[in-house]
Amino acid sequence: MIPSDLGRLMFGAAEVIPVEDLRRKLALGRPLRVKLGIDPSRPDLHLGHAVVLRKLRQFQEMGHTAVLIVGDYTGRVGDPSGQVETRPFLSQEEIEGNARTYLDQAGLVIDAPRAEIRRNSEWLSGLRMDDVLRLTSSFTVARMLERDDFRTRYRDGKPISLVEFLYPLLQAMDSVAVEADVEMGGTDQTFNLLAGRDIQKEFGMDPQVVFTMPLLEGTDGQRKMSKSYDNCVALTDPPDDMFGRLMRVPDDLVSRYVLLCTDLGPEELEGIEAGLADGSLGPADAKRHLARAVVDLYHGEGSGAAAENAFNLIHRDRELPDEVQEIELSDGWATEGGDLFWLPRILWELGLASSKGEARRLIEQGGVRLQGEQITDPEAEHRGEDLRGKVLQVGRRKFVRLT
């Protein structure tokens, strides 16, 4: 190991507890076992998930061992972190299906063939009652209620099952079983990861280093990235879609996305931040730089430039703005008994035309485009799947993205 490795690993990290232990472990002269737990309740990965996976890849590149723990046993409970109510139990079939999808997509980031992949049913399913008693005796209810999510639910009178109290202890047993030197996670996992340190001490082990990465805000700039909020950029998005979604990132989050989602180093990041600050680099150009870098990461070198060219054909050459208001396509606008939509009604519902009659005339006169293509038939009906995600343009200045 070389001294600069610590600085490289710390770049972009939220918190390392304690840093001195990481420095000491790096100096041991052996590969460290770096653990990451996989939640099999969420199979679709996006750039938010990739923040931790990319840091894990850095550990791999430095010669350390990535240990992925598939929570097929703990997944029956579900991680309570950030939850406002008890999660439903998952079936074994759901867990296995989600885990396969996760590992396939994680392979877009980490070197999956070199990773050690374990399932925590290997050791948790065989625990005896005296093992559980030993585990629970090391934690108090008061300590559990230090967690923000548990404390909030307790204050609001919402139920907390005893099984959920067991979750961080069972996750900690994973660290004991695989002899983790480092455990990684998002900042919402800090409590669980610290529990791993405590339980390892109970078993006479050198406690793991807690290594957390920031949670990435979604493209709406308001909430953390999540498919359920429709503010995510999926790892499997096609290049053009990925580029377009990244162009919607709020201006004040561009530097953060560069830090957490790309391989651009500190000097390049500083250059982007300085350019944004002094006005020599516009936010739209910074987003293009970001989008090219991210698309290249997941689709290969040169794919970012190709996606930018496609973006230009739709937006710049056809005068669409880089950022377009998004409006949900209501099922109530569909024709009776199906998923078919009549554009004049949509234009009227969205306020892009004062009446359905005016909307028909706009279409007949060539004033309506869908994703840059002129609509010519006012009587045509369109499937919802052909409309969602597309930009609807009326005249030269009215644009709406249907979601």
Please write the tens of the pLDDT for every residue from 168-179. 999 999 999 999
Give DSSP secondary structure letters for 65-86: EEEEEE-TTGGGT---TT-SSP
Per-residue confidence band for 386, with pLDDT thresholds at 50, 70 and 90: confident
DSSP bridge pairs for 66: 34
Tell me what pLDDT residue 39 has: 80
Per-residue confidence band for 81, with pLDDT thresholds at 50, 70 and 90: low
Tell me what pLDDT residue 88 has: 63
Percent of the chain with pLDDT over 90: 52
Taking residues 341-348, what's their average pLDDT?
89
Taking residues 73-102, what's their average pLDDT?
72
Q: Are 73 and 121 in contact (CB under 8 A)?
A: yes
> Structure tokens of 68?
């992925």
Residue with the larger pLDDT of the pair 331 and 55: 55
Range 319-326, long-range pairs (CB < 8 A, 24+ positions): 319/396, 320/372, 320/391, 320/393, 320/399, 321/399, 322/247, 322/284, 322/287, 323/247, 323/248, 324/391, 324/399, 324/400, 324/401, 325/399, 325/400, 325/401, 326/400, 326/401, 326/402, 326/403
* Res. 26: pLDDT tops 70: yes
What is the pTM for the complete model shown? Answer: 0.76
Q: What is d(CA 403, CA 328) in angstroms, rounded to the nearest whole number?
A: 5
Taking residues 73-88, what's their average pLDDT?
61
Tell me what pLDDT residue 227 has: 83
- Side-chain-side CA neighbours of residue 371 (13 Å): 12
Tell me what pLDDT residue 99 has: 87
Residues of the chain with CATH 1.10.240.10: 237-314
Please say whether the structural domain 237-314 has been given the CATH code 3.30.1360.40. no
CATH topology of domain 326-402: 3.10.290
Q: What is d(CA 399, CA 191) in angstroms, rounded to the nearest whole number?
A: 45
DSSP 8-state class, residue 262: S
Q: What is d(CA 83, CA 239) in angstroms, rounded to the nearest whole number?
A: 33
CATH pick for 4-213 out of 3.40.50.300, 3.50.50.60, 3.40.50.620, 3.30.70.1380: 3.40.50.620
The CA–CA distances, whole Å, from 314 to 244, 306, 322, 391, 401 equal: 10, 13, 10, 9, 13
Residues of the chain with CATH 3.40.50.620: 4-213
Of the candidates 344, 349, 333, 329, the one whose C-alpha atom is nearest the C-alpha of residue 401 is 329
Q: What is d(CA 74, CA 365) in angstroms, rounded to the nearest whole number?
A: 60
Residues of the chain with CATH 3.10.290.10: 326-402
